[in-house]
């Protein structure tokens, strides 16, 4: 990966956005970007000096767009905008999502169509580099006219207002700036509007959801393969020839991964004539179900990478005599895709719950409830209650927020996307999905132990061994929530998938063929 990212010049990907957020990549402004930024600010100054009437530069906002503001009041107008629009409520965003919002906003403004001043952008980049992260409530955006409320909270610290995370504490922005020997900024014409108009709240949630869902998709294939091994299922439904005649790329990728994970397994090859004609759908149809979720993920990735490299504020400044008031701030392009991905993530949880249920039924030579002394011990009965509860909760979160619209701004903004809700819901579904996968992994590892002395493939044995370093085999009842927590951490941190990929590389497996590069995180 590159060492430096040039805002406004280089293309932002999901991977680079996350690297900038984590401090693994340094963000700068190229000479070309600096020139365009200065030029755009000069255009705005020209509009103000010539008394041209342009929305948001020398007019009020929303339904007040016909109210003309004098040149001497333009700075006060921008400060008032940030203060009046900071109306967010609810829990605060994670520091990572708030920081990603800043990264994406800089990428948008650095393209030189927003009239922002260079010193303002440099201050935001400085805050990112110093890890001074604004405190942003997660509710209040309707996903059109930009994510106004959360972006207002995000940029209040530029003018010395609001709160920030600083050196492990939450404190006033003024106090944090003073500790760094910095003064609040005085915003110029249009700067406040450029800062709060845009889709960065929606886009940041999409970036984090894509990163997390990619990990969940990878984990689901591996855990599903482990479950199939525990249930003595067949790998024949993953034959590439079957998927060549229904060539959905996501399905083909999953089928390829499952084939690679299973076809060298002692367990899988120990029962060629067992008499089972077909496995249940949750085993046999993993390529079709996991693959469909990968297709939805890819669609969201493609749209998100357009969005995080786009200019989404309003009006767009094209020259000293031309500023166009349009609707690039409207969140609908991502809102629909986020809702689609929410269903896709929920479906991963649905099928994982079904595999978990299969494992405890006492079929195919496994003991009922996955424990030898059932009766005295409840065994693995109750963790599946949790997967059922989480899968059901996810279903309730699948109603598309983008199907709703409530007019705002006295009817001036009469159709909104609600994409901010779509983004939050997707991340909540992924929260639940990671726990469902953790419980399936708990079950799958136990089931594989009942197949000893037979072994699975080298990759799946490596994954099983990793599980057993965290959670021992279950002989009698214990507090399973501790086990679930450990395996959840293993999955959500990415450690489980990394272990599988390392083992695949060491043993010559090809889990992620280059023909499927579009499905990588970038």
Maximum distance among all Cα pairs of the chain, rounded to whole angstroms: 86
Q: Are 228 and 283 in contact (CB under 8 A)?
A: yes
Distance separating alpha carbons of residues 257 and 264, to the nearest angstrom: 13
Distance separating alpha carbons of residues 187 and 240, to the nearest angstrom: 59
422, 441, 421: which is closest to 433 by C-alpha? 441
E runs forming strands in 333-416: none
Distance separating alpha carbons of residues 69 and 71, to the nearest angstrom: 7
Q: Are 148 and 141 in contact (CB under 8 A)?
A: yes
420, 426, 393, 396: which is closest to 408 by C-alpha? 420
Distance separating alpha carbons of residues 368 and 25, to the nearest angstrom: 51
Catalytic residue from among 55, 113, 165, 443: 55
Is position 55 annotated as part of the catalytic site? yes
* Contacting residues for 482 by C-beta, under 8 A, at least 6 apart: none
Question: Residue holding tokens 């003073």?
Answer: 178
446, 441, 515, 517: which is closest to 476 by C-alpha? 446
* Alpha-carbon distances, residue 509 vs 138, 337, 520 (angstroms): 42, 33, 17
Q: Are 219 and 141 in contact (CB under 8 A)?
A: no
3-state secondary structure 460-485: HHHHHHHHHHHCCCCCCCCCHHHHHH
Question: Residue holding tokens 């990793």?
Answer: 466
150, 79, 84: which is closest to 120 by C-alpha? 79
DSSP of 242-266 = HHHTS--HHHHHHHHHHHHHHTT-T
- The helix/strand/coil state of 503 is helix
What's the burial of 364, exposed, middle or buried (CB within 10 Å: 0-12/13-18/19+)?
middle
Q: Which positions are catalytic?
A: 55
């Amino acid at each position: 990966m590159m060492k430096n990212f040039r805002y406004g010049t280089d293309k932002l990907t999901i991977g680079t956005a996350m690297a900038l957020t984590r401090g693994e990549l340094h963000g700068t402004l190229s000479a070309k970007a600096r020139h365009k930024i200065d030029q755009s600010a000069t255009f705005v100054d020209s509009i103000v000096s010539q008394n041209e009437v342009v929305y948001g530069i020398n007019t009020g906002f929303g339904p007040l767009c016909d109210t003309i503001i004098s040149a001497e009041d333009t700075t006060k107008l921008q400060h008032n905008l940030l203060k009046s629009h900071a109306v967010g409520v609810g829990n605060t965003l994670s520091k990572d999502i708030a920081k990603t919002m800043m990264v994406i906003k800089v990428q948008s403004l650095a393209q030189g169509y927003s009239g922002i001043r260079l010193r303002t952008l440099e201050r935001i980049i400085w805050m990112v580099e110093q890890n001074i992260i604004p405190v942003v409530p997660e509710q209040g955006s309707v996903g059109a006219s930009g994510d106004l409320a959360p972006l207002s909270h995000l940029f209040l610290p530029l003018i010395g207002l609001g709160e920030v995370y600083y050196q492990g504490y939450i404190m006033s922005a003024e106090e944090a700036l003073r500790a760094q020997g910095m003064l609040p900024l005085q915003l110029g014409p249009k700067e406040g509007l450029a800062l709060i108009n845009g889709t960065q709240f929606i886009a940041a949630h999409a970036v984090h959801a894509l990163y997390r869902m990619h990990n969940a998709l990878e984990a689901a294939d591996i855990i599903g393969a482990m479950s199939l091994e525990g249930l003595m299922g067949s790998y024949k439904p993953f034959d590439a020839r079957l998927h060549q005649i229904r060539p959905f790329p996501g399905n083909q990728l999953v089928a390829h991964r499952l084939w690679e994970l299973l076809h060298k397994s002692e367990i899988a090859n120990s029962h060629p004539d067992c008499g089972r004609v077909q496995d249940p759908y949750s085993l046999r149809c993993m390529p079709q179900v996991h693959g469909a979720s990968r297709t939805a993920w890819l669609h969201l990735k493609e749209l998100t990478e357009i969005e995080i490299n786009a200019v989404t504020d309003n009006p767009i400044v094209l020259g000293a005599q031309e500023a166009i008031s349009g609707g690039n701030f409207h969140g609908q392009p991502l809102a629909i895709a986020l809702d689609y991905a929410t269903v896709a993530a929920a479906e991963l949880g649905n099928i994982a719950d079904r595999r978990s249920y299969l494992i405890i039924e006492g079929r195919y030579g496994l003991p009922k409830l996955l424990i030898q002394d059932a009766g005295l011990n409840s065994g693995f009965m109750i963790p599946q209650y949790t997967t059922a509860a989480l899968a059901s909760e996810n279903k309730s979160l699948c109603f598309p927020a983008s199907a709703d619209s409530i007019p705002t701004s006295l009817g001036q903004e009469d159709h909104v996307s609600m994409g901010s809700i779509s983004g939050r819901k997707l991340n909540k579904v992924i929260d639940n999905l990671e726990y469902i996968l953790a419980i399936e992994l708990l079950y799958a590892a136990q089931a594989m132990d009942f197949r000893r002395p037979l072994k699975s493939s080298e990759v799946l044995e490596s994954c099983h061994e990793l599980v057993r370093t965290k959670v021992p085999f279950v002989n009698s009842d214990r507090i399973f929530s501790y086990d679930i927590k450990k395996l959840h951490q293993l999955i959500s941190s990415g450690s489980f998938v990394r272990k599988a990929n390392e083992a695949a590389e060491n043993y010559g497996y090809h889990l992620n063929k280059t023909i499927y590069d579009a499905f990588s995180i970038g």
